[in-house]
């Protein structure tokens, strides 16, 4: 019987030392004042070239990242693999801006796909569109404006990189997820990924777009895409998430005077997320999904929907996914029941993944002094182990 409260399963991959480190870390980040101080201190220390990368690497980096390069991630991949949990190598270097940077990132992503082709514990690759091309150009394409020659060149480069990544995924028989970012670049991304699906998803779902269900329009988007896939004979691959840019989206909508594309309430987003799962399960022959969520109700709902519709846990069209270092109580317990699970394993040089680490710390700070979900599960497991001597 599946239960997310089973901390023995949830932390089976962690020895007592790992558990102590996680406890200490989540305790520290639960203090919002300390996280803000830590962020400012880290920025300053990096600017002053103080030797703090070692401390970061042994603490917060170790919790949330697989390593500084692909090779360093192998240990994490193997230890997750022991519990039937796949790894999604996520090259998490942010702030790339030149065409040369974008080429290098695309080459790195292709290397992750080549490794995935040889390693059964790496079921997906992943990339962010802004990692392989100019955001301003995607914004302009999305708005329907005409590109100048320089922008056209940048857009062609982006399309070329995305195509070569998807081609590498197909050649290595590995699925590839395209992360979703801000709505104002998403028209361009959706069109491009649709083309990739039509090209590479003829036999099965290789290319997956991402639907952010905090958007008011994503159920309609899913319905239209399914219709297109039926008409043009390809499979839809879709990562279903709630969405990570809510504050930014709302602030921009207010500033520019348009209706926010984001649902008004969390309850609306929860409802749309769960409706999207129901929709995809209903059409599971044609749609392959990856449910990227740390929400226990949504993960449990997906399991129930599969059971109700006689979909076997090892149906390759349904994957669950969480981030490394978070929600192990979902990942490990679901994997133990035979469902397909994969963790995002972010990696990159410590200095370059700092923005990612700071976001993880911020999302685990305590709300009004409450103990967060991660911390309370760790405490429960520590107590369980102590009571067993
Ligand atoms: C494997 C994986 C891949 C991901 N990939 C992406 C990606 O490509 N793009 C992306 O944007 N995000 C991505 N995310 C992040 C995701 O969108 C969520 O921000 C995050 O997972 C928290 O949502 P949740 O479903 O885990 O659960 P919860 O914690 O239950 O939900 C929190 C989410 O609900 C929504 N929400 C909160 N308050 C409100 C409100 N007042 N009104 C409306 N909505 C509200 C927001 O989306 C918020 O992030 C990914 C997450 C995972 C685990």
Question: Cα separation of 215 and 372, whole Å?
Answer: 26
Provide the pLDDT for residue 387: 93
Provide the pLDDT for residue 35: 74
pTM above 0.85, yes or no: yes
Strand duo 124-127 + 236-241: pairing: unpaired
Pocket test for ligand 1, best of 125, 182, 242 (most atoms within 8 A of CB): 242
- Mean pLDDT, the chain, integer: 94
What topology is assigned to 66-347 in CATH?
TIM Barrel (3.20.20)
Q: Are 87 and 77 a contacting pair, CB within 8 Å?
A: yes
Over the stretch 52-77, which tens digit does the pLDDT of each residue have? 788 889 989 999 999 999 999 999 99
Spell out the residues 6+ positions from residue 72 whose beta carbon is closer than 8 angstroms to its own: 66, 347
Question: Cα separation of 220 and 234, whole Å?
Answer: 19
Provide the pLDDT for residue 214: 98
% helix, strand, coil for the chain, step of 5: 55, 15, 30
Over the stretch 218-245, which tens digit does the pLDDT of each residue have? 999 999 999 999 999 999 999 999 999 9
The 3-state DSSP class for residue 289 equals strand
Question: Cα separation of 271 and 216, whole Å?
Answer: 11
Per-residue pLDDT band for 369 (boundaries 50, 70, 90) equals low
Residue 35 tokens, joined: 């996280």
Distance between Cα 244 and ligand 1 center (Å): 5
Provide the pLDDT for residue 367: 66
Provide the pLDDT for residue 31: 81
Task: State the span(s) of the chain assigned CATH 3.20.20.220.
Answer: 66-347
* Nearest alpha-carbon partner for 287 in 328, 331, 235, 332: 235
* Nearest alpha-carbon partner for 126 in 96, 89, 160, 157: 89
> In the structure, which protein residues have their CB atom closer than 6 angstroms to any atom of ligand 1?
179-180, 210, 212, 214, 241-246, 262-263, 265-266, 269, 292-295, 321-323, 344
Distance between Cα 212 and ligand 1 center (Å): 8
Letter string b/e over residues 273-311, b meaning 16 or more CB atoms within 10 A of that residue's CB: bbebbebbbebbeebbbbbbbbbeebbebbbebbeeeeb
Provide the pLDDT for residue 362: 84
Distance between Cα 8 and ligand 1 center (Å): 27
Mean pLDDT of 5-32: 92
In the chain, the largest separation of any two C-alpha atoms, in whole Å, equals 70
Over the stretch 327-343, which tens digit does the pLDDT of each residue have? 999 999 999 999 999 99
- Name residue 323's beta-bridge partners: 344
Spell out the residues 6+ positions from residue 256 whose beta carbon is closer than 8 angstroms to its own: none
Provide the pLDDT for residue 105: 96
């Amino acid at each position: 019987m599946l239960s997310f409260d089973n901390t023995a399963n949830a932390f089976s991959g962690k020895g007592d030392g790992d558990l102590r480190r996680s406890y200490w870390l989540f305790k520290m980040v639960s203090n919002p004042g300390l996280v803000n101080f830590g962020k400012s201190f880290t920025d300053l220390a990096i600017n002053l070239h103080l030797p703090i990368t070692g401390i970061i690497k042994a603490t917060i980096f170790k919790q949330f990242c697989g390593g500084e390069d692909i090779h360093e991630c192998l240990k994490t991949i193997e230890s997750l693999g022991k519990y039937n949990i796949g790894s999604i190598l996520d090259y998490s270097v942010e702030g790339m801006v030149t065409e040369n940077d974008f080429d290098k990132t695309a080459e790195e992503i292709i290397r992750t796909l080549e490794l995935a082709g040889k390693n059964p514990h790496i079921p997906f690759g992943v990339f962010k569109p802004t990692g392989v091309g100019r955001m301003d150009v995607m914004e302009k394409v999305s708005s329907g404006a005409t590109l100048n020659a320089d922008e056209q060149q940048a857009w062609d480069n982006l399309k070329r990189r995305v195509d070569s990544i998807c081609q590498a995924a197909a050649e290595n028989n590995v699925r590839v997820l395209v992360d979703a970012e801000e709505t104002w670049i998403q028209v361009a991304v959706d069109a491009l990924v649709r083309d990739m699906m039509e090209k590479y998803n003829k036999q099965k779902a290789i290319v997956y777009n991402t639907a952010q269900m905090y958007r008011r329009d994503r159920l309609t988007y899913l319905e239209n895409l399914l219709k297109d896939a039926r008409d043009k004979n390809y499979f839809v691959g879709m990562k279903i998430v709630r969405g990570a840019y809510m504050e930014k989206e709302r602030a921009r909508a207010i500033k520019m005077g348009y209706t926010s594309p984001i649902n008004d309430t969390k309850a609306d987003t929860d409802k749309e997320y769960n409706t999207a799962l129901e929709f995809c399960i209903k059409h599971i022959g044609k749609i392959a999904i990856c449910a990227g969520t740390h929400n226990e109700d949504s993960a449990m709902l997906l399991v129930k929907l599969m059971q109700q519709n006689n979909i076997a846990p090892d149906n390759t069209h349904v994957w669950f996914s969480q981030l490394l270092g978070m929600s192990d109580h979902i990942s490990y317990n679901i994997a133990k029941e035979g469902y397909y699970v994969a963790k995002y394993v972010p990696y990159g040089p410590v200095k370059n993944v700092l923005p990612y680490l700071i976001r993880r710390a911020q999302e685990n700070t305590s709300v009004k002094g409450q103990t967060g979900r991660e911390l309370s599960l760790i405490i429960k497991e520590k107590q369980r182990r102590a009571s067993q001597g």
